[in-house]
Structure 1
Amino acid sequence: MSMPIVDGTAKILADPHSYTEEARLHATLAKVRASEPVSLVDVPGYQPFWAITKHADILAVERANRLFTNWPRPVLMSAASDEMQSAAGIRTLIHMDDPQHRVVRSIAADWFSPKAMKAMGERIEQLAKQYVDRMREAGGECDFVQEVAVNFPLYVIMSLLGVPESDFPRMLKLTQELVGSDDDELKRSAPADETMNALLEMFQYFQHLTASWREHPTGDLGSTIANARIDGEPLSDVDTMSYYAIIATAGHDTTSSSIAGGLRALVEHPEQRENLRANLDLMPLATEEIIRWVTPVKAFMRTAAQDTTLNGVPIAAGESLLLSYVSGNRDEDAFTDPFRFDIEREPNKHVAFGFGVHFCLGAGLARMEIGKFLAELLPRLTSIELNGVPALSATTFVGGLKHLPIRYTLA
């Protein structure tokens, strides 16, 4: 263990409920960035970790992917959950390092290429229109998260995988249980190990589909994964199921959080909303600002492969680092006026998608879904306001709004 440099305020990053109070969270992280940007967090229930809160330091760690590895602890979880996941042998893309990561990532890479995104554009536009029409049919009031934001990207990613539409509700429940394990409303109602049971239930579901895809290959991503070969051999059952799980969760919950959080930001900043509505050509910039503002992936973990230093702080081999994307995306040294929501922000070098070899595989799809939904909604929107108190999910990994009650009029 390195000589501890402890700033007690950084422990907020190990508290899932801190993410439900954004103002307090951001104020605390601003103090951490200013006083001890690399500080040790050692709290009950978790293995110790170094909190990395500066944008430049996050990039430095992400660039040095051989020095700072994803395996064995890619996500902040309780010590008990760390042990359970290790015992289950879960190995998704976020658990892997090169060269294995590069080879396994390539299996799905073509499905998220610019060419593939262009081919999907028309279908996503149709879906966006369908869900905006549903908002109109709802009579001018809805919980935008539960009625729109979680369903639109769910439909996109499950269709891409090849999951039957009749099973979409089941997939929604399982993905929310997986990323909402720290939230009293979203998690399963039983003990902590029920989160692992949700993952195992997802694995069991995809086992049946895998058998079908291998016997009768289809033209979807799920079939591509099921029939992939590395050095002539198929992926192991665990690696195959893990691949489906990361695509299903990462391709759904992050985008739904961004769409919901983006709409909330536009409601609360009407001048920005009207600017975007009048100038839809600003959508690419607005989309990046929404992603920075929301930061649906709160953090990732890395492990030092050897003794090193970061920002002058000694880090010992085997120690964990938490890359706080939420903090990095409000870093005063990286962004001008970082607490201002600005749809014309440029440059906007946010770290919400990560950086380097682990840059989000589905970033292009997420950007397209956010942009096309808002491009459909805003021209038809004549008024919108909050119709209650928004509620954020408790999490230390992926999350955002779980309720956004709104009142609106649509053309």
Structure 2
Amino acid sequence: MSMPVVDEAANVLADPTVYTDEKRLHAALSALRAGNPVARVEVPGYKPFWALTKHADIMAVERADKRFTNWPRPVLMTAQSDEMQAAVGIKTLIHMDDPQHRVVRAIAADWFAPKAMRAMKLRIEELAVRYVDRMRDTGGECDFVGEVAVNFPLYVIMSLLGVPESDFPLMLKLTQELMGNDDAELTRSTPADETTNALIEMFAYFQKLTESRRAHPTDDLASTIANATIDGEPLSDVDIVSYYAIIATAGHDTTSSSISGGLRALIENPDQLDRLRGDLGLMPKATEEIIRWVTPVKAFMRTAAEDSVINGVTIPAGDSLLLSYVSANRDEDVFDDPFRFDVGREPNKHVAFGYGVHFCLGAALARMEISSFFNELLPRLTSVELAGEPELTATTFVGGLKRLPIRFTLD
């Protein structure tokens, strides 16, 4: 048993800008996996944490949900933002541990179950046609992110919630501000102020939606959440709005990042584009590879509930751990040639959706949206190329491309 070697490479995980430079990011993560897979990180502005970069170590922590808890620090944020969120009192599914997590998750679980997904399939396929048509109507050149990728999953998740279409632009703005508050281009002011303002605005919006659904319930997820009870008692206003917020943000930004990042990967790997276009039966495997390749959720945090040992390193009770999903999804011990994009990759044991009790609630919906979109796009796509440099979002949590300029011909 030994203490880890101090390694400057681990500090990049607290630098949002590193996620805009994939070469630098993966060089650092590869070095950590090889030489310091459980690394102590102490950088100004953040509470200290341990960075885990090996797939096996991350899976071990995910499985031991009693020993490594989500509360009180599920996401890497600055110390200032940690304090702000604690003061606001927001506690979403990602902040909760069992048994509370199990009970609260069950409120919306039926909306994401296989039966519900089968019922939604036709509607999602119709929306895929709409947004591929919209892509065609741009005239053969567009920013794929801003004009297509962010709107398709936004429409799906907001329709599921029951948000009127006239309010979709507001929801897009608020979700981008919440998820993109580390990116200077996406913020209104300082990151902490930005998060506070977006949370306040989102809370106000969803509070009105709750009042409406309690007075006049409808057949949508918002009504289910607004009228839910636990042990005969309704959810608190903060709990209800927190539930809406995690559904709205997690159900939108992650999928839009996967769709845009998937298209970029296909453009940059034309052999795989041709392979998939020639055999759409590969789409289920291609969807998993897109999700692995993009890994839109970069990391989650856990807190050690007791003294523990991970890969020979002692983690004292109360210390925080960062689970680097981006690193785990390029782990050479798990994936053959992990830096090769392979639409037929099998097996594909990626951890992009997490694992165990906190496995992503909307995973089946995300998979359906990605596969439906590319099943519609690829048979109609006769050519596609980059029309400029792709740009990635600065983040330490959820993100992907913020611009993907492309030139294409489409039937």
**TM-score normalized by structure 2?**
0.99
TM-superposed CA distance for 1:148, in Å, is 0.3
The aligned runs of 1:23-42 (5 Å cut-off) are: 23-42=23-42
Counterpart CA distance in 1 for 2:280 and 2:217 is 40
Match for residue 293 of structure 1?
A: 293
Deviations 1:323-379 (A, max 9, x none): 000000000001110000000000000000000000000000000000000000000
Match for residue 318 of structure 1?
A: 318
Gaps of 5+ in 2: none
TM-superposed CA distance for 1:195, in Å, is 1.2
Tell me whether 1:86 sits opposite 2:105 in the alignment.
no
Counterpart CA distance in 2 for 1:82 and 1:396 is 14
SS in 1 for 2:186: coil
TM-superposed CA distance for 1:191, in Å, is 6.0
Counterpart CA distance in 2 for 1:337 and 1:191 is 37
Aligned-partner residue type, residue 21 of structure 2: E
TM-superposed CA distance for 1:164, in Å, is 0.6
TM-superposed CA distance for 1:6, in Å, is 2.3
Matched-pair contact (CA < 8 Å) for 2:210–2:226: yes
SS in 2 for 1:193: helix
Tell me whether 1:408 sits opposite 2:408 in the alignment.
yes
Matched-pair contact (CA < 8 Å) for 1:53–1:327: yes
Match for residue 249 of structure 1?
A: 249
Matched-pair contact (CA < 8 Å) for 1:188–1:195: no
Gaps of 5+ in 1: none
Match for residue 50 of structure 1?
A: 50
Match for residue 265 of structure 2?
A: 265
When structure 1 is superposed on structure 2, of 180-189 and 360-369 the one drifting more is: 180-189
SS in 2 for 1:350: coil
Match for residue 221 of structure 1?
A: 221
Count of aligned residue pairs for this structure pair = 410
The aligned runs of 1:10-159 (5 Å cut-off) are: 10-159=10-159
TM-superposed CA distance for 1:196, in Å, is 1.5
Aligned-partner residue type, residue 198 of structure 1: A
Counterpart CA distance in 2 for 1:376 and 1:263 is 13
Match for residue 186 of structure 1?
A: 186
Counterpart CA distance in 2 for 1:367 and 1:360 is 11
Aligned-partner residue type, residue 185 of structure 2: E
TM-superposed CA distance for 1:27, in Å, is 1.2
Q: What is the Cα-based RMSD across aligned positions, in Å?
A: 1.0
Deviations 1:247-273 (A, max 9, x none): 000000000000000000000111101
SS in 1 for 2:248: helix
Query: How high is the sequence identity, in percent, across the aligned residues?
Result: 77
Aligned-partner residue type, residue 210 of structure 1: T
Match for residue 379 of structure 1?
A: 379
Matched-pair contact (CA < 8 Å) for 2:262–2:294: yes
Matched-pair contact (CA < 8 Å) for 2:258–2:294: yes
Counterpart CA distance in 2 for 1:374 and 1:212 is 37
**TM-score normalized by structure 1?**
0.99
SS in 1 for 2:282: helix
TM-superposed CA distance for 1:157, in Å, is 0.1
Aligned-partner residue type, residue 294 of structure 1: V
When structure 1 is superposed on structure 2, of 313-322 and 188-197 the one drifting more is: 188-197
Matched-pair contact (CA < 8 Å) for 2:84–2:192: no
Counterpart CA distance in 2 for 1:123 and 1:189 is 38
Deviations 1:286-313 (A, max 9, x none): 0000000000000000000011110110
